[in-house]
Structure 1
């Protein structure tokens, strides 16, 4: 479906919904609310910690599952062949997401945080959690290929369940030893990671797939996409904000005591987004992809699934860990940076031949 030049050049802020446009404000408010709750409500931390099953905090689990389900209900699971037929796009996406992306975050984490092993580990986990959420919004704003974005997100979702645990073990326990780097605090159980991936990604993935399949069968695709999805879409934001409130209530002392550490976590994230987006965009043009698919390739490579990263960090290291804090900082950096990259993407559109309507 083609889009007009007027749509492509419309101000990004004007095309965002009120909720999305003010997302950094909501996240900031959630942070403050969490910090104040942690300071003003006696015994809040122990009370939250007590509500858990098999080491997983139920309040955090609720927030994460609510956050991820609406996004996965939007995925078009019936169109895998729309992208699998484009071998250039498929191979490039797989290499960028599962080889170069994790390796780049690993390198940046060690370069920027050599003396902060908990935050470094948290960033490495972020690098392993590939895009399945907000990337669809950025791709749409940049006039990317919606079909390709949906398929790549679905592919990453399935591949994450299969490969995340093994990659986590490799980057957190094996590779540092091979390179002669210290491995303090990097002993991670592959099963613990796999368990959290299966719970926090597998459950909403199955729920999203069944919701789309049954919803379209009962009411039709038009009703599902124009009536049902807009209703459940904001629920993801509520889940994100709820999770951040809980996390910051538990992380309050560390955040207020170590603002420099928070800033240091932001630096490698900024470098990661810029390098992955620019490199992927250039690669798309170099291998002959059109603008729409080049934009999709770049945003799906640059985006990360912070929801999953936070879930894994919490389940493996605990809700008050530095690893969880590194994941929490992620969305605060991703939102403004990727909005800026939407503008950059639209400006780069002139480098490509116009696609036929």
Structure 2
């Protein structure tokens, strides 16, 4: 990791504080940021996430994606973790730890249904995961998100609680609402990254592209992440600081969820004999969530001031520091895996520049 990346917790902590202070001390900032939105999507946050994802997706070697799609253990494990175990775990934690707070509980269940397609790209890259595998698994999650999100929402908020004799909630969300999030937060940077690599290698060759161009644009990922965090905290700072006890109640199941999903996925990857790189990718793609989609759905269904929306907002505020911490846990656990073959190891080391 570069010096810039090694100090990541410092930068993220400073961005959180800066966002909170800006939201509290600059009059009208929240209203201005809220106004800069299109169809419920904050343009400043979208800009930060797109800038964050582009350099990482530009580093992906798209000619190696077939080595990922042929890894059945990785693909099947990811689908099971993301679409069977993840939502079920969040449902269980929400009911176990928030039995008396129905709005927050519903908001957390929605967070659990929105699988990550944005920030996970950065966490995976910082932890030295397999970029090609991350690109494939994120794309796979995106397809399943469009197809399965509404049905799973009905199952976990209405059908399953009815079977268990628990209160039921309806979720009115269109396929377009979900597809819109996928199109903006994955398709745009994915197409840009793919086009950049193809055109760059065609014009200057792979050595120039990976040795000169990628190191130049690499820091943009961190800048985009920090910008998105500042804006997110500025937008929600007042709500967060005004409800500290509620935030703490919401945070508890979230922390448990992120840690259990990551640790369980990491242990599964090790047990399946996956490499460190692919185990790391499996873990972060399983643990992360698409907070933009969760917040948009909660606001559209229950209102901007609802408890469901607050739970959605708290999601990324807890996810960011927890998954940053897990990046360092992952790096510390590299010694548990056998080293990759020399050629593969050298190629991966070169691609991390």
Does 1:128 find its partner at 2:128? no
Counterparts of 1:57-68 in structure 2, within 5 Å, are: 57-68=42-53
Deviates more, 1:92-101 or 1:123-132: 123-132
Aligned pair in 2 of structure 1 residues 60, 138: CA closer, same or farther (>3 Å)?
closer
Q: Distance in 2 between matches of 1:118 and 1:197?
A: 25
Q: Distance in 2 between matches of 1:341 and 1:116?
A: 35
1:35 maps to what in 2? 20
Shift of 1:123: 6.2
Contact 1:56/1:314, CA 8 A, preserved across alignment: no
Q: Distance in 1 between matches of 2:218 and 2:238?
A: 33
Contact 1:126/1:304, CA 8 A, preserved across alignment: no
Counterparts of 1:293-304 in structure 2, within 5 Å, are: 295-296=279-280, 298-304=282-288
Does 1:325 find its partner at 2:319? no
1:338 maps to what in 2? 327
Picking from 73, 94, 107, the partner of 2:58 is 73
Aligned pair in 2 of structure 1 residues 282, 23: CA closer, same or farther (>3 Å)?
closer
2:180 maps to what in 1? 195
Q: Distance in 2 between matches of 1:186 and 1:130?
A: 20
Which digits, 9 at most, give the CA deviation of each residue in 1:163-194, with x for residues without a partner? 21333213333322112243447443332122
Q: Distance in 2 between matches of 1:22 and 1:127?
A: 32
Q: Distance in 1 between matches of 2:224 and 2:341?
A: 40
2:345 maps to what in 1? none
1:237 maps to what in 2? 222
Counterparts of 1:82-231 in structure 2, within 5 Å, are: 82-114=67-99, 115=101, 117-118=103-104, 121-122=107-108, 124-125=110-111, 128-130=114-116, 132-140=120-128, 149-179=130-160, 180=162, 181-184=166-169, 186-231=171-216
SS at match of 2:228: helix
Aligned pair in 2 of structure 1 residues 99, 228: CA closer, same or farther (>3 Å)?
farther
Q: Distance in 2 between matches of 1:93 and 1:282?
A: 13
Shift of 1:355: 5.8
Which digits, 9 at most, give the CA deviation of each residue in 1:323-351, with x for residues without a partner? 123223211111113312432x23533xx
Contact 2:19/2:237, CA 8 A, preserved across alignment: yes
Shift of 1:98: 3.4
SS at match of 1:182: coil
Contact 2:69/2:75, CA 8 A, preserved across alignment: yes
Instruction: Give the aligned CA root-mean-square deviation in angstroms.
Output: 2.9
Residues paired across the two proteins, number: 327
Output the TM-score relative to the length of structure 2: 0.80
Does 1:279 find its partner at 2:264? yes
SS at match of 1:134: helix
1:9 maps to what in 2? none
Q: Distance in 2 between matches of 1:63 and 1:102?
A: 27
SS at match of 1:188: coil
Contact 1:212/1:224, CA 8 A, preserved across alignment: yes
Q: Distance in 1 between matches of 2:25 and 2:259?
A: 39
Q: Distance in 2 between matches of 1:182 and 1:35?
A: 35
Shift of 1:195: 1.1
Q: Which runs of 5+ in 1 are unaligned?
A: 1-15, 141-145
Shift of 1:152: 2.0
Q: Distance in 2 between matches of 1:58 and 1:273?
A: 27
Q: Distance in 2 between matches of 1:109 and 1:166?
A: 24
Deviates more, 1:98-107 or 1:35-44: 98-107
Q: Distance in 1 between matches of 2:238 and 2:92?
A: 29
1:7 maps to what in 2? none
Q: Distance in 2 between matches of 1:268 and 1:94?
A: 22
